[in-house]
Protein backbone atom coordinates (compact mmCIF):
# COMPACT_ATOMS: atom_id res chain seq x y z
CA UNK A 1 0.00 0.00 0.00
CA UNK A 2 1.20 3.54 -0.67
CA UNK A 3 2.69 5.34 2.31
CA UNK A 4 1.07 8.55 3.46
CA UNK A 5 2.78 11.69 4.74
CA UNK A 6 2.75 10.99 8.48
CA UNK A 7 3.06 14.69 9.24
CA UNK A 8 -0.57 15.13 8.22
CA UNK A 9 -1.54 12.74 10.99
CA UNK A 10 -0.08 15.15 13.54
CA UNK A 11 -2.67 17.80 12.61
CA UNK A 12 -5.28 18.43 15.25
CA UNK A 13 -8.50 16.66 14.32
CA UNK A 14 -10.90 19.51 15.04
CA UNK A 15 -9.69 22.16 12.62
CA UNK A 16 -11.46 25.40 13.43
CA UNK A 17 -13.65 26.13 10.43
CA UNK A 18 -14.95 22.57 9.83
CA UNK A 19 -15.89 22.43 13.53
CA UNK A 20 -17.78 25.74 13.20
CA UNK A 21 -19.54 24.40 10.10
CA UNK A 22 -20.48 21.21 11.96
CA UNK A 23 -22.03 23.11 14.87
CA UNK A 24 -23.87 25.55 12.59
CA UNK A 25 -25.25 22.68 10.51
CA UNK A 26 -26.46 20.81 13.59
CA UNK A 27 -28.11 23.98 14.91
CA UNK A 28 -29.85 24.88 11.69
CA UNK A 29 -31.13 21.33 11.22
CA UNK A 30 -32.67 21.49 14.70
CA UNK A 31 -33.91 25.07 14.13
CA UNK A 32 -34.75 25.36 10.43
CA UNK A 33 -36.60 28.67 10.94
CA UNK A 34 -33.57 30.47 12.45
CA UNK A 35 -32.06 33.11 10.11
CA UNK A 36 -28.36 32.65 10.82
CA UNK A 37 -25.97 35.58 10.27
CA UNK A 38 -22.37 34.59 9.66
CA UNK A 39 -19.70 36.89 11.02
CA UNK A 40 -17.29 33.98 11.24
CA UNK A 41 -15.02 33.10 8.34
CA UNK A 42 -13.07 36.08 6.99
CA UNK A 43 -14.47 36.21 3.49
CA UNK A 44 -15.56 39.37 1.74
CA UNK A 45 -19.18 39.86 0.69
CA UNK A 46 -19.38 42.94 -1.55
CA UNK A 47 -19.22 42.78 -5.39
CA UNK A 48 -15.98 43.08 -7.38
CA UNK A 49 -14.99 46.63 -8.34
CA UNK A 50 -16.30 47.75 -11.74
CA UNK A 51 -12.77 48.70 -12.85
CA UNK A 52 -11.61 45.11 -12.31
CA UNK A 53 -14.60 43.59 -14.07
CA UNK A 54 -14.21 45.89 -17.09
CA UNK A 55 -10.51 45.00 -17.35
CA UNK A 56 -11.19 41.28 -17.05
CA UNK A 57 -13.94 41.35 -19.71
CA UNK A 58 -11.62 43.18 -22.10
CA UNK A 59 -8.92 40.58 -21.37
CA UNK A 60 -11.29 37.74 -22.20
CA UNK A 61 -12.04 39.34 -25.57
CA UNK A 62 -8.35 39.90 -26.26
CA UNK A 63 -7.72 36.19 -25.76
CA UNK A 64 -10.47 35.53 -28.31
CA UNK A 65 -8.45 36.93 -31.19
CA UNK A 66 -5.38 35.40 -32.86
CA UNK A 67 -3.30 38.54 -32.19
CA UNK A 68 -4.45 38.93 -28.59
CA UNK A 69 -4.22 35.28 -27.62
CA UNK A 70 -1.77 34.39 -24.86
CA UNK A 71 -0.76 31.00 -23.56
CA UNK A 72 1.54 30.45 -20.62
CA UNK A 73 2.61 33.74 -19.13
CA UNK A 74 5.77 34.45 -17.15
CA UNK A 75 5.82 32.34 -13.98
CA UNK A 76 6.65 35.48 -11.97
CA UNK A 77 3.68 37.42 -13.36
CA UNK A 78 3.35 39.94 -16.20
CA UNK A 79 5.80 42.87 -16.02
CA UNK A 80 3.04 45.52 -16.26
CA UNK A 81 1.40 44.19 -13.09
CA UNK A 82 4.68 43.83 -11.22
CA UNK A 83 5.61 47.39 -12.22
CA UNK A 84 2.24 48.81 -11.14
CA UNK A 85 2.60 47.10 -7.75
CA UNK A 86 6.18 48.26 -7.22
CA UNK A 87 5.26 51.85 -8.08
CA UNK A 88 1.98 52.17 -6.15
CA UNK A 89 2.40 49.89 -3.14
CA UNK A 90 6.09 50.44 -2.43
CA UNK A 91 7.91 53.25 -4.25
CA UNK A 92 5.06 55.69 -3.53
CA UNK A 93 5.58 54.94 0.17
CA UNK A 94 9.33 55.41 -0.05
CA UNK A 95 10.18 51.69 -0.11
CA UNK A 96 12.96 50.51 -2.40
CA UNK A 97 11.16 47.57 -3.97
CA UNK A 98 11.69 46.85 -7.66
CA UNK A 99 9.29 45.10 -10.05
CA UNK A 100 11.64 42.11 -10.44
CA UNK A 101 11.34 41.48 -6.68
CA UNK A 102 7.57 40.95 -6.94
CA UNK A 103 6.24 37.46 -7.65
CA UNK A 104 2.56 37.29 -8.63
CA UNK A 105 0.65 34.30 -7.28
CA UNK A 106 -2.81 32.87 -6.82
CA UNK A 107 -2.91 33.64 -3.11
CA UNK A 108 -1.07 34.56 0.05
CA UNK A 109 -2.37 31.44 1.74
CA UNK A 110 -0.51 29.35 -0.81
CA UNK A 111 2.59 31.58 -0.74
CA UNK A 112 2.83 31.51 3.04
CA UNK A 113 3.02 27.73 2.97
CA UNK A 114 4.90 27.30 -0.34
CA UNK A 115 7.73 29.46 0.97
CA UNK A 116 8.68 26.54 3.23
CA UNK A 117 9.90 24.76 0.07
CA UNK A 118 12.98 26.99 0.00
CA UNK A 119 13.68 26.97 3.74
CA UNK A 120 15.58 24.25 5.59
CA UNK A 121 14.32 21.62 8.01
CA UNK A 122 16.18 22.78 11.08
CA UNK A 123 14.88 26.34 11.43
CA UNK A 124 13.54 27.40 14.81
CA UNK A 125 10.15 28.94 14.08
CA UNK A 126 8.23 31.55 16.05
CA UNK A 127 4.54 32.32 15.66
CA UNK A 128 2.23 34.52 17.68
CA UNK A 129 -0.50 32.89 19.74
CA UNK A 130 -3.27 33.37 18.58
CA UNK A 131 -2.24 33.14 14.92
CA UNK A 132 -3.57 32.63 11.38
CA UNK A 133 -3.74 28.79 11.45
CA UNK A 134 -2.14 28.34 8.02
CA UNK A 135 1.33 29.33 9.29
CA UNK A 136 1.29 26.57 11.89
CA UNK A 137 -0.45 23.83 9.92
CA UNK A 138 1.77 24.28 6.86
CA UNK A 139 4.81 23.77 9.09
CA UNK A 140 3.22 20.65 10.58
CA UNK A 141 2.53 19.26 7.09
CA UNK A 142 6.11 20.01 6.02
CA UNK A 143 7.47 18.09 8.99
CA UNK A 144 8.94 21.16 10.66
CA UNK A 145 7.27 20.52 14.06
CA UNK A 146 6.86 17.79 16.63
CA UNK A 147 3.57 16.40 17.90
CA UNK A 148 0.74 18.53 19.35
CA UNK A 149 0.34 18.59 23.13
CA UNK A 150 -2.95 18.57 25.07
CA UNK A 151 -3.37 22.32 24.47
CA UNK A 152 -2.81 21.84 20.75
CA UNK A 153 0.66 23.42 20.74
CA UNK A 154 3.24 21.72 18.53
CA UNK A 155 6.62 20.66 19.76
CA UNK A 156 9.48 22.66 18.28
CA UNK A 157 7.49 25.87 17.66
CA UNK A 158 8.05 29.00 19.74
CA UNK A 159 4.69 30.53 20.64
CA UNK A 160 4.62 34.25 21.44
CA UNK A 161 1.39 35.01 23.33
CA UNK A 162 -0.53 38.13 22.32
CA UNK A 163 -3.20 39.08 24.83
CA UNK A 164 -4.90 42.16 26.24
CA UNK A 165 -2.17 42.22 28.93
CA UNK A 166 0.59 42.95 26.40
CA UNK A 167 -1.62 45.03 24.11
CA UNK A 168 -1.58 42.22 21.50
CA UNK A 169 2.03 43.05 20.76
CA UNK A 170 4.19 39.93 20.78
CA UNK A 171 7.26 39.94 22.98
CA UNK A 172 10.57 39.35 21.18
CA UNK A 173 11.62 35.68 21.47
CA UNK A 174 13.74 34.93 24.52
CA UNK A 175 16.36 32.95 22.65
CA UNK A 176 17.33 32.76 19.01
CA UNK A 177 14.80 31.80 16.37
CA UNK A 178 15.41 31.63 12.60
CA UNK A 179 11.97 32.25 11.12
CA UNK A 180 9.29 34.61 12.45
CA UNK A 181 5.74 34.97 11.16
CA UNK A 182 4.23 38.43 11.65
CA UNK A 183 0.83 39.61 10.40
CA UNK A 184 -0.13 43.30 10.62
CA UNK A 185 -2.87 44.47 10.70
CA UNK A 186 -3.42 41.23 12.54
CA UNK A 187 -5.80 38.41 11.84
CA UNK A 188 -7.42 37.51 14.24
CA UNK A 189 -6.87 40.29 16.82
CA UNK A 190 -7.10 43.35 14.56
CA UNK A 191 -3.96 44.73 16.27
CA UNK A 192 -1.43 46.86 14.39
CA UNK A 193 2.30 47.52 14.74
CA UNK A 194 3.90 50.96 14.84
CA UNK A 195 7.12 51.73 12.99
CA UNK A 196 9.01 51.57 16.29
CA UNK A 197 7.57 48.13 17.08
CA UNK A 198 8.42 46.78 13.63
CA UNK A 199 11.90 48.28 13.92
CA UNK A 200 12.43 46.13 17.04
CA UNK A 201 11.53 43.04 15.04
CA UNK A 202 13.81 43.99 12.18
CA UNK A 203 16.65 44.71 14.63
CA UNK A 204 16.07 41.34 16.30
CA UNK A 205 16.06 39.56 12.92
CA UNK A 206 19.26 41.27 11.77
CA UNK A 207 21.01 40.55 15.09
CA UNK A 208 19.94 36.88 15.01
CA UNK A 209 20.22 36.19 11.25
CA UNK A 210 16.49 35.46 11.25
CA UNK A 211 13.96 35.78 8.44
CA UNK A 212 10.64 37.59 8.97
CA UNK A 213 7.63 36.51 6.92
CA UNK A 214 5.50 39.64 7.00
CA UNK A 215 1.86 39.12 6.03
CA UNK A 216 0.32 42.45 5.03
CA UNK A 217 -2.95 41.08 3.65
CA UNK A 218 -4.89 43.76 5.56
CA UNK A 219 -2.66 46.79 4.94
CA UNK A 220 -5.41 48.56 2.97
CA UNK A 221 -7.51 48.75 6.15
CA UNK A 222 -4.97 50.97 7.92
CA UNK A 223 -6.40 54.45 8.48
CA UNK A 224 -3.84 55.96 10.84
CA UNK A 225 -1.31 57.73 8.55
CA UNK A 226 1.50 57.10 11.06
CA UNK A 227 1.28 53.31 10.76
CA UNK A 228 3.52 51.43 8.30
CA UNK A 229 1.80 49.49 5.49
CA UNK A 230 4.89 47.55 4.47
CA UNK A 231 7.79 46.13 6.43
CA UNK A 232 10.07 47.76 3.85
CA UNK A 233 9.21 51.11 5.41
CA UNK A 234 11.52 49.93 8.20
CA UNK A 235 15.28 50.45 8.03
CA UNK A 236 17.10 47.18 7.36
CA UNK A 237 14.01 45.15 6.41
CA UNK A 238 15.27 44.36 2.91
CA UNK A 239 18.00 42.26 4.52
CA UNK A 240 15.67 40.17 6.70
CA UNK A 241 12.09 40.14 5.44
CA UNK A 242 9.79 38.65 2.82
CA UNK A 243 6.39 40.34 2.49
CA UNK A 244 3.10 38.73 1.48
CA UNK A 245 0.29 40.78 -0.05
CA UNK A 246 -3.04 39.87 -1.53
CA UNK A 247 -5.87 41.39 -3.57
CA UNK A 248 -8.32 39.21 -1.62
CA UNK A 249 -9.33 41.63 1.11
CA UNK A 250 -8.80 45.05 -0.48
CA UNK A 251 -10.36 44.37 -3.89
CA UNK A 252 -12.56 41.40 -3.03
CA UNK A 253 -10.46 38.85 -4.95
CA UNK A 254 -11.03 35.95 -2.50
CA UNK A 255 -12.74 34.02 -5.29
CA UNK A 256 -10.92 35.64 -8.21
CA UNK A 257 -7.45 34.79 -6.76
CA UNK A 258 -4.44 37.06 -7.06
CA UNK A 259 -1.70 37.92 -4.59
CA UNK A 260 2.03 38.54 -4.56
CA UNK A 261 5.17 37.93 -2.56
CA UNK A 262 8.10 40.33 -2.33
CA UNK A 263 11.53 38.72 -2.12
CA UNK A 264 14.22 41.43 -2.03
CA UNK A 265 17.40 40.89 -4.04
CA UNK A 266 20.32 40.39 -1.69
CA UNK A 267 18.21 38.75 1.03
CA UNK A 268 20.32 35.76 2.03
CA UNK A 269 19.96 32.41 3.74
CA UNK A 270 22.58 29.87 4.75
CA UNK A 271 23.26 26.48 3.16
CA UNK A 272 24.34 23.43 5.19
CA UNK A 273 27.88 24.13 3.98
CA UNK A 274 27.73 27.61 5.54
CA UNK A 275 27.64 29.21 2.10
CA UNK A 276 25.28 32.21 1.75
CA UNK A 277 22.51 31.78 -0.81
CA UNK A 278 20.17 34.43 -2.22
CA UNK A 279 16.53 33.56 -1.45
CA UNK A 280 15.30 35.39 -4.60
CA UNK A 281 16.97 32.81 -6.83
CA UNK A 282 15.53 29.89 -4.89
CA UNK A 283 12.00 31.32 -4.92
CA UNK A 284 12.28 32.12 -8.62
CA UNK A 285 13.39 28.54 -9.27
CA UNK A 286 10.62 27.16 -7.09
CA UNK A 287 7.95 29.16 -8.91
CA UNK A 288 9.31 28.31 -12.37
CA UNK A 289 9.23 24.59 -11.57
CA UNK A 290 6.04 24.28 -9.55
CA UNK A 291 3.84 27.17 -10.75
CA UNK A 292 2.62 28.34 -14.13
CA UNK A 293 1.46 31.79 -13.24
CA UNK A 294 -1.89 33.46 -12.63
CA UNK A 295 -4.42 33.76 -15.43
CA UNK A 296 -3.85 36.71 -17.79
CA UNK A 297 -7.46 37.74 -17.23
CA UNK A 298 -7.07 37.90 -13.48
CA UNK A 299 -3.77 39.79 -13.68
CA UNK A 300 -5.48 42.41 -15.87
CA UNK A 301 -8.19 42.62 -13.20
CA UNK A 302 -5.54 43.12 -10.50
CA UNK A 303 -3.78 45.77 -12.58
CA UNK A 304 -7.05 47.73 -12.72
CA UNK A 305 -6.94 48.04 -8.91
CA UNK A 306 -4.20 50.63 -9.49
CA UNK A 307 -6.19 52.72 -11.99
CA UNK A 308 -7.77 55.90 -10.60
CA UNK A 309 -11.21 54.29 -10.83
CA UNK A 310 -9.95 51.09 -9.19
CA UNK A 311 -8.32 53.02 -6.35
CA UNK A 312 -11.53 54.97 -5.71
CA UNK A 313 -13.63 51.79 -5.73
CA UNK A 314 -11.28 49.95 -3.38
CA UNK A 315 -11.38 52.92 -1.01
CA UNK A 316 -15.19 52.79 -1.02
CA UNK A 317 -15.12 49.04 -0.29
CA UNK A 318 -12.68 49.44 2.59
CA UNK A 319 -14.66 52.33 4.05
CA UNK A 320 -17.81 50.24 3.85
CA UNK A 321 -16.29 47.35 5.80
CA UNK A 322 -14.64 49.70 8.29
CA UNK A 323 -17.99 51.38 8.94
CA UNK A 324 -19.31 47.89 9.72
CA UNK A 325 -16.40 47.38 12.10
CA UNK A 326 -17.20 50.69 13.83
CA UNK A 327 -20.82 49.60 14.30
CA UNK A 328 -19.72 46.27 15.77
CA UNK A 329 -17.23 47.98 18.09
CA UNK A 330 -19.78 50.54 19.25
CA UNK A 331 -22.53 48.01 19.94
CA UNK A 332 -20.31 45.49 21.73
CA UNK A 333 -18.79 48.22 23.89
CA UNK A 334 -22.27 49.49 24.72
CA UNK A 335 -23.15 45.92 25.75
CA UNK A 336 -20.32 46.10 28.26
CA UNK A 337 -17.85 43.84 26.46
CA UNK A 338 -14.11 44.52 26.22
CA UNK A 339 -13.48 45.16 22.55
CA UNK A 340 -10.18 45.29 20.62
CA UNK A 341 -9.17 45.74 16.98
CA UNK A 342 -11.65 46.85 14.35
CA UNK A 343 -10.06 50.29 13.92
CA UNK A 344 -7.31 49.51 11.38
CA UNK A 345 -8.53 46.01 10.49
CA UNK A 346 -11.81 44.34 9.52
CA UNK A 347 -11.77 42.13 12.64
CA UNK A 348 -13.14 42.91 16.06
CA UNK A 349 -11.63 40.83 18.85
CA UNK A 350 -13.53 40.70 22.08
CA UNK A 351 -13.17 39.18 25.49
CA UNK A 352 -15.87 36.61 26.16
CA UNK A 353 -18.22 37.47 29.05
CA UNK A 354 -17.23 36.16 32.49
CA UNK A 355 -17.92 32.46 32.91
CA UNK A 356 -17.87 31.61 29.21
CA UNK A 357 -14.91 30.24 27.28
CA UNK A 358 -14.56 30.80 23.53
CA UNK A 359 -16.68 27.83 22.46
CA UNK A 360 -19.19 28.52 25.25
CA UNK A 361 -19.71 32.02 23.87
CA UNK A 362 -19.91 30.61 20.34
CA UNK A 363 -22.72 28.27 21.38
CA UNK A 364 -24.57 31.02 23.25
CA UNK A 365 -24.33 33.46 20.34
CA UNK A 366 -25.47 30.81 17.87
CA UNK A 367 -28.20 29.42 20.10
CA UNK A 368 -29.68 32.69 21.31
CA UNK A 369 -28.84 35.30 18.64
CA UNK A 370 -28.33 32.99 15.63
CA UNK A 371 -25.06 34.78 14.98
CA UNK A 372 -21.89 32.89 14.01
CA UNK A 373 -18.48 34.16 15.07
CA UNK A 374 -15.10 32.53 15.52
CA UNK A 375 -13.89 31.19 18.88
CA UNK A 376 -10.52 32.70 19.78
CA UNK A 377 -9.21 29.35 21.04
CA UNK A 378 -9.33 28.10 17.43
CA UNK A 379 -6.42 30.45 16.65
CA UNK A 380 -4.27 29.17 19.50
CA UNK A 381 -4.19 28.40 23.20
CA UNK A 382 -3.76 32.07 24.19
CA UNK A 383 -6.89 32.91 22.17
CA UNK A 384 -8.99 31.11 24.78
CA UNK A 385 -11.42 33.56 26.35
CA UNK A 386 -11.55 35.69 23.19
CA UNK A 387 -13.82 35.76 20.17
CA UNK A 388 -13.53 37.19 16.65
CA UNK A 389 -16.28 38.95 14.72
CA UNK A 390 -15.68 39.88 11.11
CA UNK A 391 -16.82 43.14 9.53
CA UNK A 392 -17.15 41.43 6.15
CA UNK A 393 -20.90 41.44 5.65
CA UNK A 394 -23.78 43.52 4.35
CA UNK A 395 -24.81 46.53 6.43
CA UNK A 396 -28.24 44.98 6.97
CA UNK A 397 -26.71 41.78 8.38
CA UNK A 398 -24.31 43.63 10.65
CA UNK A 399 -27.10 45.83 12.01
CA UNK A 400 -29.43 42.89 12.52
CA UNK A 401 -26.70 40.85 14.24
CA UNK A 402 -25.98 43.77 16.58
CA UNK A 403 -29.69 44.25 17.30
CA UNK A 404 -29.90 40.59 18.35
CA UNK A 405 -26.76 40.89 20.47
CA UNK A 406 -28.18 43.91 22.29
CA UNK A 407 -31.31 41.94 23.05
CA UNK A 408 -29.27 39.20 24.77
Residues lying near ligand PLP in the complex (CB under 6 A) are found at 42, 107-109, 132, 183, 187, 215, 217, 246, 248-249, 254, 259
Strand-by-strand arrangement of the 259-262 sheet: 102-105, 259-262, 241-246, 211-215, 179-183, 125-129, 157-161
Looking at the Cβ atoms of 232 and 369, the one nearer to ligand PLP is 232
State how far the Cα of 31 lies from the Cα of 155, in Å rounded to an integer.
41
3-state SS class at 129: strand
Burial 340-360 (b: 16+ CB within 10 A, else e): bbbbbbbbbbbbbeeebbbbe
Of the two residues 197 and 254, which places its CB atom closer to ligand PLP in the complex? 254
42: CB partners within 8 A, 6+ apart: 187, 249, 346, 347, 390, 392
Calculate the CA 246 to chain-centre distance. Answer: 8
Residue by residue, DSSP assigns 243-283 as: EEEESTTTS--TTT--EEEE--TT-EEE-TTS-EEEHHHHH
Residue nearest to ligand PLP (CB): 107
**369: three-class secondary structure by DSSP:** helix
Q: Least distance (Å) from ligand PLP to the CB of residue 328?
A: 17
Question: Between residues 252 and 370, which has the closer beta carbon with respect to ligand PLP?
Answer: 252
Instruction: Quote the Cα angle for 115-117-123, to 5°.
Output: 85
CB of 314 to ligand PLP, least distance (A): 15
Nearest approach in angstroms of CB 247 to ligand PLP is 7
Integer CA distances (angstroms), 320 to 47, 223, 315, in order: 12, 13, 8
CB of 214 to ligand PLP, least distance (A): 11
CB of 207 to ligand PLP, least distance (A): 26
d(CA 305, CA 189): 27
- Least distance between ligand PLP and beta carbon 182 (Å): 10
Separation CA 175–CA 166 (nearest Å) = 19
Q: Choose between 41 and 58: whose C-beta lies nearer to ligand PLP.
A: 41
List the beta bridge partners of residue 148: 154
In 187-346, alpha helices (H): 195-207, 279-290, 296-303, 308-334
How crowded is residue 265: how many other Cβ atoms within 10 Å of its Cβ? 13
Q: How far is the CB of 248 from ligand PLP (least distance, A)?
A: 3
Q: Which is nearer to ligand PLP, 246 or 377 (CB)?
A: 246
Residue 391 or 405 having the CB closest to ligand PLP? 391
CB of 108 to ligand PLP, least distance (A): 4
Cα–Cα distance for residue pair 234/245, rounded to 1 Å: 17
In the complex with ligand PLP, the residue whose CB is nearer, 184 or 361, is 184
The distance of closest approach from Cβ of residue 217 to ligand PLP in the complex, given in angstroms and rounded to an integer, is 4
Q: Which is nearer to ligand PLP, 182 or 371 (CB)?
A: 182
Q: How far is the CB of 31 from ligand PLP (least distance, A)?
A: 30
Task: State the Cα–Cα distance between residues 96 and 232, nearest whole angstrom.
Answer: 7
* Nearer to ligand PLP among residue 243 and residue 313 (C-beta): 243
Q: Residue 211: which H helix or E strand, with range?
A: strand 211-215
Query: Residue 77 Cβ, how far from ligand PLP at the closest point, in Å?
Result: 14
Specify the residue, 188 or 264, whose C-beta has the smaller distance to ligand PLP: 188
Considering the complex, state which of residue 369 and residue 372 has its C-beta at the smaller distance from ligand PLP. 372
Residues 36 and 28: their CA atoms lie apart, in Å, by 8
Amino acid sequence: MVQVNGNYLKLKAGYLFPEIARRVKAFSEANPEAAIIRLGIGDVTEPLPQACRTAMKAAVDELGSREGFRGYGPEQGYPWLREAIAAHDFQARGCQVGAEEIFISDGSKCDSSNILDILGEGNRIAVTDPVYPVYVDSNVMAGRTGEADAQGQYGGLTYLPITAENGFSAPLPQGKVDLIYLCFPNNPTGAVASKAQLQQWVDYALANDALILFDAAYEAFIRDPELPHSIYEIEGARRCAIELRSFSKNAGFTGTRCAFTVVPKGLMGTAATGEQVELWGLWNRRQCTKFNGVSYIVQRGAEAVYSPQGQAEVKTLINFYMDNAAIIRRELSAAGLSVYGGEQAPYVWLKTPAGLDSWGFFDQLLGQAHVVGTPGSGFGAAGEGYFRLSAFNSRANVEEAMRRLRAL
